[in-house]
């Protein structure tokens, strides 16, 4: 790639409903009262980076409901994951979950989500701004991090990339959405581990909590998701002495309506927490709109850790480049899209591409040096 990228950057034409820069989070500063923040759907975020062959913590953009309109001032490799957000480059639809080469002066935009809430735009390149407390993640409530003093993306923002732009994504990966990502369902079952304060509730109330269907309320954001449904009553106290709250802990305030603590939660809080959601089920929430029905399923800690480890292993396999099938998409000079799928590489020295786009046949021979 010998593109003339003098000032590699993107310009925000329209920020969408709520788009922020995130990475996996700010983990080492919680003891100073700083929330972790970070991508709400860590699964989609991590997979996107793996598909691009990045460090899994390479920062990207988290969109909400309707994504931004972004002009590329330099040619960049990107990958869009998460919610089905119908991304387009210059009005031509592009595929999600695959590396896409976006040429300079092209515009990335999004349609209406047909499933889910949050998409992730990951880049092969890395943003060229200072991290705040070791992380790129934005917390808009506290104005911490991100590209612009803790603010979300705004119209006319320009976000620079590092100068180096010669990195290519891997030619191939093992990503399989059925195997690696959330399955679309009408009602999600979230696996939970009881505690730390399940002893604040009697067995009838724990039974009620486990058997009820809850609906995600409109008062839900990156700090926490409020649920509406059967009220859970405390045995006596509905307050605890303030203490740290884990990601996915479900606190029960005085009114008995559960609140699930998410990435922007305060580091400490004073409500009892009946249970905590299995880390790998948090992305189901990240992709849930208000009104989404959810249920809880109790599992034991040993099972939760087994599931956690199995999931980690499955993700690792995405980058296990045994297979030679290719699934990449290139925006050509005419800003039209060619899609190449299942290309066979001949001993990794050269490969031939045969593809069809709008009834026109393309053939390309690529030599690997």
Partner 1 sequence: MNKSFSKPSIKLAGDSAVNVDLGDIIHPEINFSVHTFATHIQKNNPQWLIQIIPAYKGMLIYYDPLSIEFENLKNYLLKEFETMDKSTNNTSSTLITIPTLYGGKFGPDMENVINHTKLSKKEVINIHSATDYLVYAIGFSPGFPYLGGLSQKLNTPRLNNPRTKIPAGSVAIAETQTGIYPSPTPGGWQIIGKTPVKLFDPERTPPVLVNPGDMIKFEPLKNLKEFAEIENKIKQKKYSIKTNEIKK
The residue ranges that bind partner 1 (CB under 8 A) are 27-34, 132-133, 142, 144, 193-197, 241-249, 266-268, 273, 276-279, 301-302, 304-305, 307-309, 312
Per-residue b or e along 312-349, where b marks 16 or more CB atoms closer than 10 Å to that residue's CB:
eeebeebbeeeeeebbbbbbeeeeebbbbeebebeeee
Secondary structure of residue 236 in the 3-state scheme = coil
We find the least distance from the C-beta atom of residue 247 to partner 1, in angstroms, to be: 7
| Residue 5 or 263 having the CB closest to partner 1 | 263
We find the least distance from the C-beta atom of residue 188 to partner 1, in angstroms, to be: 17
| Residue of 263, 257, 256 whose CA lies nearest to 279 | 263
Token pair of 81 as six digits: 């994951």
We find the least distance from the C-beta atom of residue 276 to partner 1, in angstroms, to be: 3
Terminal Cα distance for the chain, rounded = 13
| Residue of 148, 118, 140 whose CA lies nearest to 42 | 118
We find the least distance from the C-beta atom of residue 318 to partner 1, in angstroms, to be: 17
> Please, which residues have CB within 8 angstroms of residue 341's CB and are 6 or more apart in sequence?
325, 326, 327, 355
| Residue 6 or 241 having the CB closest to partner 1 | 241
26 and 36 Cβ atoms separated by less than 8 Å: yes
| Residue 144 or 286 having the CB closest to partner 1 | 144
| Residue 73 or 152 having the CB closest to partner 1 | 152
| Residue 74 or 276 having the CB closest to partner 1 | 276
Q: From CA 156, how far away is CA 140, in angstroms rounded?
A: 18
We find the least distance from the C-beta atom of residue 196 to partner 1, in angstroms, to be: 4
We find the least distance from the C-beta atom of residue 81 to partner 1, in angstroms, to be: 23
HEC string for 41-64:
CHHHHHHHHHHCCCCCCCCEEECC
| Residue 166 or 303 having the CB closest to partner 1 | 303
| Residue of 146, 158, 147 whose CA lies nearest to 11 | 158
| Residue 140 or 231 having the CB closest to partner 1 | 140
| Residue 34 or 100 having the CB closest to partner 1 | 34
We find the least distance from the C-beta atom of residue 36 to partner 1, in angstroms, to be: 9
| Residue 13 or 240 having the CB closest to partner 1 | 240
| Residue 27 or 115 having the CB closest to partner 1 | 27
Task: Dump the DSSP string for 244-288.
Answer: E--TTEEE--TT---EEE-TT--SEE-S-EEEEE-GGGHHHHHTP
Edge-first strand listing for the sheet containing 107-110: 92-93, 87-89, 107-110, 69-72, 9-14, 158-160
We find the least distance from the C-beta atom of residue 37 to partner 1, in angstroms, to be: 12
> Please, which residues have CB within 8 angstroms of residue 165's CB and are 6 or more apart in sequence?
1, 3, 5, 8, 74, 75, 76, 125
Per-residue b or e along 147-163, where b marks 16 or more CB atoms closer than 10 Å to that residue's CB:
beebbbbeeebebbbee
We find the least distance from the C-beta atom of residue 266 to partner 1, in angstroms, to be: 6
17 and 64 Cβ atoms separated by less than 8 Å: yes
We find the least distance from the C-beta atom of residue 169 to partner 1, in angstroms, to be: 26
């Amino acid at each position: 790639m010998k593109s003339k990228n003098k000032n590699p950057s993107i310009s925000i034409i329209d920020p969408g409903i709520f788009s922020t820069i995130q990475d996996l989070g700010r983990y080492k500063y919680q003891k100073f009262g700083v929330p972790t923040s970070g991508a709400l759907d860590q699964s989609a975020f991590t997979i996107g980076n793996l598909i691009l062959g990045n460090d899994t913590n390479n920062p990207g953009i988290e969109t909400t409901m309707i994504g931004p309109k972004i002009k590329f001032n330099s040619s960049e490799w990107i990958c869009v994951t998460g919610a089905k957000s119908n991304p387009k480059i210059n009005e031509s639809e592009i595929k999600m979950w695959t590396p896409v080469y976006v040429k300079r002066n092209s515009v990335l935009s999004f349609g209406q989500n047909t499933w889910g809430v949050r998409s992730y735009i990951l880049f092969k390149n890395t943003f060229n701004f200072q991290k705040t407390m070791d992380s790129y993640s934005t917390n808009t409530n506290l104005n911490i991090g991100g590209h612009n003093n803790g603010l979300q993306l705004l119209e006319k923002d320009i976000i620079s990339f590092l100068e180096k732009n010669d990195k290519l994504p891997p030619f191939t990966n093992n990503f399989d959405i059925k195997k690696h990502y959330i399955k679309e369902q009408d009602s999600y079952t979230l696996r939970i581990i009881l505690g730390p304060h399940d002893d604040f509730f009697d067995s009838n109330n724990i039974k009620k909590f486990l058997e009820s269907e809850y609906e995600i309320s409109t008062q839900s954001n990156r700090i926490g998701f409020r649920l509406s449904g059967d009220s859970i009553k405390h045995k006596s106290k509905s307050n605890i002495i303030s203490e740290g709250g884990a990601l996915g802990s479900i606190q029960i305030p005085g009114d008995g309506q559960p609140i699930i603590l998410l990435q922007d939660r305060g580091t400490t809080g004073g409500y009892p927490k009946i249970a905590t959601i299995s880390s790998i089920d948090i992305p189901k929430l990240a992709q849930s709109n208000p009104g989404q029905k959810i249920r809880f399923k109790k599992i034991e800690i040993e099972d939760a850790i087994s599931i956690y480890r199995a999931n980690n292993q499955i993700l690792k396999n995405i980058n296990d480049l045994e297979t030679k099938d290719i699934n990449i998409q290139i925006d050509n000079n005419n800003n039209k899209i060619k899609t190449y799928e299942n290309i066979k590489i001949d001993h990794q020295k050269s490969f031939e591409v045969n593809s069809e786009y709008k009834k026109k046949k393309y053939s390309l021979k690529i030599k690997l040096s």
